[in-house]
Amino acid sequence: MQSIIQTLSENVQVIYRKSIDADQTITRLQQSGKGKFSAVFTEDAGFETSSKFFKPYVEEIAKEVLELESQSPESVKAALPVLVKKIEMLLTTLNQFQKNAR
């Protein structure tokens, strides 16, 4: 179970680095009158966070990964599908955003 949590933590680190660049791009777009959206993800995406920047979503995922360390193996198994879906959605969105922002 520990290796799964370690892999999730490594993914969060990759996402965090990508989110810093993406958030800087969003700031530049908004300063030039573009990027007029209220949130990266819709309310039904599964995140508690709602932000026009990526970093708050990364922080939510990082918090969930940290919480896994203190949970029972059964709880971890139950939480993994939702968490992995969030990570996948965030990575996909970041990659697509970076492609389109160029």
Q: Which sequence spans correspond to the domains of the chain?
A: 2-101
Q: Is the pLDDT of residue 101 over 90?
A: no
- pTM across the whole model: 0.92
Residue 95 structure tokens: 């990659």
Q: Is the pLDDT of residue 38 over 90?
A: no
**Euclidean distance between CA atoms 95 and 62, whole angstroms:** 19
Residue 20 structure tokens: 């810093």
Of 24, 45, 27, nearest to 35 (Cα)? Answer: 27
Residues 6+ apart with CB under 8 A from 76: 1, 4, 5, 68
**pLDDT, tens only, 75-89:** 999 999 999 999 999
